[in-house]
Structures are given as structure tokens and as C-alpha cells.
Amino acid sequence: MHESVFASGFRTFLISFFKIFGIILGVLLAISLFSYFSGGSEKEVQQEYSLEIAPNSKGVRKALSKTAPVILVLPISGVIGGEVLNAKNMEQQLIESREGSLAGDRVKAIFLEMNTPGGTVFDADVIYRALKAYKEQYKVPVYAFVDGLCASGGMYVAAAADKVYASDVSLIGSIGVISSAYLNLYQLLEKVGVQTLTLYAGKGKDELNPLRPWKPGEEEQMQALIDYYYKHFVEVVTSNRPQVDKEKLIKDYGAEIFAAPEAFKIGLIDGNGYSRSMALNELLKQIGIEDDFYQVMRFEGKSWFSQIFNSHNPLLGGKIQYELKLPAEMDYHFANQPLYLYRPDSK
């Protein structure tokens, strides 16, 4: 008797649950279809990010009319190339800065808020070039404020800024390239009696295979790539910041990290001892705004709509995923590739 009551109750619960779930899914699908077909021949562009008001130079958040000029804040925070701060997301934010409520040339300047140790060569380069192209196309200044760390790939991205200001305790520099460590496990495997065989075609395809003894000079190809990316890094910094002496950068400064006052002396930044408000005020002077009729805005996450219909959403994929979150530096995506990344143990 007890089992039948339990079974009946559980069945009722499941029926109710799936009815509610079906209604919610149906409503979401209806909204999606309505938004798709309501535009006629011209479909509305779906934006991935929502906008929020950020504090102005006086620390005040206040909604103004849609005619108010906008300073757009782009956070360069965390490891470049990670899940949040990467080339794809940054390019998307720059695209959306000319759409929706920001359309009509409302964005008058970009303000980078920086606290990053750098990251992948490729993401840093794409973000740098995207900012440079944006400046040229829309004729807007890009200012950067460092509050913490602007190292390696962060310095690469900051080279796109017209001015770079930093707080006194910030650390700047680490202009260099590094790869993840290559381990050779051959002797260890030999001791435990494990043999391996790697099949490959193409000269050099098996270079730095950790399961066999390495040949003399086997690292030369990878080192050549590291040298190339370093040369390019130096060129990006010195061409955008001519006050930095190229010869001294290579021979003396190297990949060292500097406190903000020293970084200012050698030309890596345009001022130290700044606060966010002070840096914003410098930008306001540059774009000719003398009153409080302007809006500081930033993009906040991805919209709930895009999150729900994301192809990786387990709700739509019909699967449950368990994730172990590791620091971005330990992500396997960062392995076996050159990095513009500052590590205290390796600079």
C-alpha cells in the first residue's frame, strides 16, 4: 500500500514537472520564433552582451539620455586567452559597441581597465590589432589604466592605447616570450619497463616527443618561433611607444617586471600614481568633455537569451557535465604554444 502511494505521488510529480518544463521551453521557443520572423526581410541582430552603467570619474552611476556620449570600458583582466578574456569575446564587444543603444557613433572613447599577466601570443595579437583597427576606423582614442598588473601580453595589448596610466603599486613590463616546459619521460618509462612507438610522417613531425631520447638541436625549430615572436613583440612596443629605447629594451630591460615609477621612467607608461578617476579625467580632456553629460558603460556577461540557446548548454544538449576549474595558466589550451605570459618564477 505504501509503495503504491509513493509510486503514484512520484508519477504525479514527474507529470507536473515535465508539464511545467514543456511550457517554459515552449514559451522560450515561441519568443525565439517571434523575434526571428517579426522583422520581416530584415532580421534583428542578436547581441550577446548586455550593457551596464559604470561609475564616472566622480564615482557616480547615473542613467542619462540616449544622446549622451559614451566612454566604453573594456576590462583586460585575467589571463588573455582564457574563457572570458579572449580574442573572440573582445572582437564581439567591439562589434556590439556600434549597435543597439550604442549605435549612432555614441562611443567617443575606449577605456581599458587592465590587470593581467598576459596569455597566449595569438589572443594578445588579435586583441591588439582589433583595438588599433577600431581606433583608425572610428577615430576614437583608447586610454588604458593599470591597477595591478600589466605584464607580457598585457603590455602587448596596452601598446594599442594612446596613453597608459598606472597606480603606484602596479607592475609593468615582462616583454618576452615563453613556452610551457617540455618534459622528457623516456628514462622514467624505461625504468618501469614501458616501451612506446610513435608513427608519423613529415620531417620534424616527431620533434620533442617526450617518450624517446631527444636529438641534439631538436629544439631549434621551436626556439626559432620563440625568437620570432619576441622580435615582433619588441617591434610592437617600440613602434607604439617610441620613448622606449629599443636597444636598451633588448640588452638591459629584457623581460624584467618594473614598479610603475620605474616603468614610467623608461617609457612603458605615460604616468604613475594615477587613480581610475584621474585616468578618466585625462581621457575626458582628450575628447573635449568638460561637464558631467557623458556615460561610462561596460558590457556585462552574455545575455540570458544567448546563454540559454548556446550550443554548449547542457539543457539543450541533453547531458550533464562535471567540470574541475583550474587556473587559466594550467589549462591544456595553453600547453605547447608560445605565450606572452608573466610568471614570477620565469618572468
Among 261, 260, 254, CA closest to 237: 254
Q: Domain 49-174+256-301 in CATH: superfamily?
A: 2-enoyl-CoA Hydratase; Chain A, domain 1 (3.90.226.10)
- The whole-angstrom separation of Cα 308 and Cα 139 is 36
Examine the residue annotation and report whether 311 is marked as an active-site residue of this protein.
no
Residue 273 to residues 169, 276, 280, Cα–Cα distance (Å): 8, 10, 14
Residue-range domain boundaries for the chain: 49-174+256-301
Residue 57 among the catalytic residues: no
Closest by Cα among 2, 35, 48 to 303:
48
Per-residue pLDDT at 303: 54
Catalytic residue among 57, 97, 108, 152: 152
Q: What pLDDT score was predicted for residue 40?
A: 47
- Residue 331 CB contacts under 8 Å (≥ 6 apart), including other chains: 82
Query: Grid coordinates representing 302?
Result: 552574455
Neighbour tally for 132: CB within 10 Å: 16
pLDDT in tens, the chain (347 residues): 455 666 666 677 667 777 787 777 777 776 666 655 554 444 566 889 999 999 999 999 988 988 999 999 999 999 999 999 999 999 999 999 999 999 989 999 999 999 999 999 999 999 999 999 999 999 999 999 999 999 999 999 999 999 999 999 999 999 999 998 888 998 999 899 999 889 989 998 989 888 999 999 999 999 999 999 999 999 999 999 999 999 999 999 999 999 999 999 999 999 999 999 999 999 999 999 999 999 999 999 765 555 555 555 555 555 655 555 555 555 656 777 899 999 886 66
Question: According to the model, what pLDDT value does residue 41 have?
Answer: 45
| pTM of the predicted model as reported, rounded to 2 decimal places | 0.81
87-96 and 121-138 are packed helices; what angle lies between their axes, rounded to 10 degrees?
A: 20
Residue 310, pLDDT score: 54
Pick the catalytic residue from 58, 62, 88, 205. 205
- Whose cell is 615582462? That residue is 174
